[in-house]
Every structure is written in structure tokens, then in C-alpha cells.
């Protein structure tokens, strides 16, 4: 069974592989997205932005907790500045999202801006397609 087939069957271990494939813009990622698009259109996207220390992670923690308590599945993309050494996420916001359940109702993915300006990583929109196709609300 391919990773995509496992993903489409709801195999949680396939999700980060699909997300990495999209984020890294691997050869064929556009074809993959075209296969995911028919499974999308149900998720609502909400963005939180602000300067360091403004309380973004605390707010996300509260909002995600409320949504989960209502029976929703929440996908979180935590975008951080890139490390000048590794190119990866520098801060790792997931360590501040402490009150969320570990029962599969929440998926947190840290992504680096990789030099993109405006606070979003280039792959953000495409990664939300994968989360929507996987069934996150």
C-alpha cells in the first residue's frame, strides 16, 4: 500500500510523510495536491499572528481546546522563523501547546518560514490542503 493510499484510509502515520512531501516541494507534489483537492472543502482556516510574546500560542491552546471539546479535529501549523543553521523551525511552538489532548483529535506541525517574509511559510496553503483532505475541521 502506498503512503497516499494509507493517508486516504486515515492512517495517522502517513500524514507527516505527506505533509513533508508537500512542504519540501518534492518532485510530484503538485500531482499529489491534485489528488487531494477533491477530498477538501470542509475545513475552516483560522490564522493567528503577532509579535513575540503577544500570546498567540496561549490563544491557539484555548481555541483548539474549545474546538476539541465540541468534537472537532484540529490541525495546527505552527510557523516559526528559520534557524540560520538548519533551516528548520527555530522556536518549536508545540512545546507551549500543553493543554491539548493526545488522542488524535489534534495534529500539530511546526514549520519554518524558510526565508519567506510576512510570517508564513510558502507551503502553508498547500499543507492546509493535506490537513483538510485528512479530515481535520
Look at residue 118 in the predicted model and tell me its pLDDT.
53
Look at residue 95 in the predicted model and tell me its pLDDT.
54
Look at residue 85 in the predicted model and tell me its pLDDT.
44
Q: Any alpha helices (H) in 24-113, and if so which ranges?
A: 29-36, 56-69
The neighbour count for residue 116, using CB atoms within 10 Å, is 14
**Which pTM was predicted?**
0.83
Segments of the chain scoring below 50 in pLDDT: 82-91
Q: Kindly state the cell numbers that stand for 104.
A: 488524535
Q: How far apart are CA 92 and CA 121, in angstroms?
A: 14
Look at residue 67 in the predicted model and tell me its pLDDT.
94
Look at residue 87 in the predicted model and tell me its pLDDT.
45
Amino acid at each position: 500500500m502506498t503512503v497516499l493510499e494509507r493517508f486516504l484510509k486515515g492512517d495517522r502515520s502517513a500524514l507527516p510523510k505527506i505533509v513533508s512531501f508537500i512542504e519540501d516541494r518534492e518532485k510530484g507534489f503538485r500531482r499529489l495536491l491534485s489528488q487531494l483537492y477533491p477530498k477538501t472543502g470542509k475545513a475552516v482556516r483560522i490564522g493567528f499572528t503577532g509579535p513575540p510574546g503577544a500570546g498567540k500560542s496561549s490563544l491557539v491552546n484555548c481555541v483548539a481546546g474549545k474546538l476539541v471539546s465540541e468534537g472537532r479535529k484540529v490541525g495546527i501549523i505552527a510557523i516559526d522563523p528559520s534557524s540560520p543553521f538548519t533551516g528548520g523551525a527555530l522556536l518549536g511552538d508545540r512545546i507551549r501547546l500543553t493543554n491539548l489532548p493526545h488522542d488524535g483529535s489534534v495534529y500539530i506541525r511546526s514549520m519554518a518560514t524558510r526565508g519567506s517574509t510576512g510570517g508564513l511559510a510558502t507551503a502553508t496553503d498547500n499543507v492546509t490542503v493535506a490537513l483538510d483532505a485528512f479530515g481535520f475541521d
